[in-house]
Structure 1
Amino acid sequence: MTVHAMIYAAMERLSPSEQRLAKVLLASYPSAGLKTVAELAARAQVSGATVVRFVRHLGFNGYPDFHQCLHEEVQQSAASPLQRYESHQVTHRMGELESTLAGFEQGLRQTFARTTPAEIKKVVALLADPDRRILCAGGRFSGMLAQYLAQMLTQLREQVSYVPGGTEWANRLLDIGKRDLLVMFDFRRYQADSVRFARACRKHGATVILITDPWLSPIAEVSKHVLTCEVDSTSPYITFVPAMAMVERLVSELIDSLGGRARERLEKLEAVWQEITNDNER
């Protein structure tokens, strides 16, 4: 379990001052936790003793133990496929189907156990808001998740678009404003241009939803909602199976939220589809 998950799980048991500290840590995770006790206490406007009590409530022996755990998370989050390949060769035999399936199941369970129904409802409410324009974007690999989500949302509501990277991001920033909702996908190793684009969108007034891994993309600092998905796999590459499942869950709950509006749009889509296809293509 990551420190982020520990903080989230302990939130209801914390005192008011510890909860304030927890919110500071989550808002700037993990960078805020890499500060000294005095620096973190000053940032959260709590005492040093509160910081020490807080990390012990999380299960650490003290602040150095907490600090070390965060450092290890940062190192793990920065690991390249090549580095994970070396570990993979030592610890795993290729072709073990049961191991792969067990890994997927564990990742799915951990992902959905970490995400509360209340958080999902808030995200779905934003996705269902007809006054908002929705932009979906991602990185070199996670962009396919953004594109898939945009395709699904387009069939259910108006004003949805997938924004590929590069110059298109700059073009879109010309018109970004308070009506816009950016759904951003960013996984380790986090892309600098993705972070810059999300921050720029937020600066222009857009609301940001981030879908990321447990170590949290820096985009979390400017996001209204953050949904984390497990990424550990039996191969040297991270897996997007839990992230894809998260997308499917959002789409499913959005359909329930939209009700008749979703059905009406799907009926229109079917009619349009019949106009532009022949019988052999259906």
Structure 2
Amino acid sequence: MDDTTESGVNKERLENQIDKQPDVPRFLADLIALNSSKLTEADARLLEVLMSDPVRAAMENGKEVSSRAGVHPASAVRLARRLGFAGYPEFRTFLQNNLVDTGTGDFENPAARMAARLIRAEEGKLLSTILDSEIAALQQVRTSVSDTDIRAFSEVLRDARRIFVLGRSHAAALSSLIALRLRRSGYDATDLSSQLHILPEMLSILTDKDVVWLLSFRSPSPVIVDIRGAAALKGAKTLILSDVNGARIDPPGDFHISVSRGGVGQSQSLVVPMTIANAIILDLASIDEGKSLSALDRFKAFRASLPPRLSR
């Protein structure tokens, strides 16, 4: 492919491509606009590939991008130099850094979130990178969540007639675990995440003696917002455990713990909220006058009496 300059045709074509791809990162669109007069037909084809999937492009080398664009492998290097970089590796680093730095809430799509984490990981040190991420996220909990916050949750749970727990997406796994642990501790706890098909029936029995514990991560699910509204109408107390992005719930909960699960490109797993939930349930056992401990002993004895098929 000849890299002859066709700037007028390329500029219009690239502008149309940007218009067709509303998710093209602003930094990439600005870079194209700044250098449009230098671009060739091969450059245009490469940039179309980059704009169609910026996340994938940030993970690939010049040869792979050129292959997808159907141009000579050296074309990616020439494009990078026309855009002001020493070579394609430097251009790819620019793409990676900008994708990570401009990601909103660690990106809004799963592929981008995973790509950001891979970008952060050094070659051959993926596990170490994830561990460092989790440790850093847990360390900041020391200064952002207090024992007073934990006690506020555990006191409300202790005094509740019934407890309803709900999390969506990945938080549904934590919702199920919390409800399971509360039931084993002698509390009437229901995981609403597994009861969505009868949600109106479940919400209709709420009273001012009940508690709704909501888990909200990344952005509040419409279901989470609606259930918070229903709890408010029924007078039930609401506990909310969220990350920073999932905190925007109206009306606000009666008690709310909001904590970062890590920055952009970090793992943002359930380790942080699970640790907080464990602390709340442990604190509950310390203030409920032996209710949790007695219930756990009874459950252990009952399970031991069951046939092996039922006790697993």
Larger Rg: 2
1:203 maps onto 2:233 in alignment: yes
1:163 is matched with 192
2:305 is matched with 275
Letter in 2 for 1:154: R
1:253 is matched with 283
Cα deviation 1:141-173 (Å, max 9, x = unaligned): 101111101111111123211112532222211
1:123 is matched with 153
| Long gaps (5+) in structure 2 | 1-100
1:193 is matched with 223
Cα deviation 1:122-143 (Å, max 9, x = unaligned): 11111111x5211111102101
TM-score when normalising by structure 2: 0.60
1:153 and 1:280, CA in 2 relative to 1: closer, same or farther beyond 3 A?
closer
Identity of aligned residues (%): 16
Number of aligned pairs? 210
* From 170, 175, 178, the counterpart of 1:141: 170
Cα distance in 2 for residues equivalent to 1:173 and 1:82: 35
1:30 is matched with none
Cα distance in 2 for residues equivalent to 1:222 and 1:245: 23
| Long gaps (5+) in structure 1 | 1-71
2:73 is matched with none
Structure 2 SS opposite 1:185: strand
Following superposition, the deviation at residue 280 of structure 1 comes to 11
Letter in 1 for 2:191: Y
CA RMSD of aligned residues (A): 2.8
Contact 2:166/2:175 (<8 A) preserved: yes
1:68 is matched with none
* From 106, 114, 131, the counterpart of 2:136: 106
Structure 2 SS opposite 1:231: coil
Following superposition, the deviation at residue 88 of structure 1 comes to 3.8
Following superposition, the deviation at residue 114 of structure 1 comes to 0.5
Cα distance in 1 for residues equivalent to 2:102 and 2:179: 31
Contact 1:111/1:228 (<8 A) preserved: no
Cα distance in 2 for residues equivalent to 1:74 and 1:234: 7
TM-score when normalising by structure 1: 0.66
1:192 and 1:74, CA in 2 relative to 1: closer, same or farther beyond 3 A?
farther
1:183 maps onto 2:213 in alignment: yes
Contact 1:150/1:162 (<8 A) preserved: yes
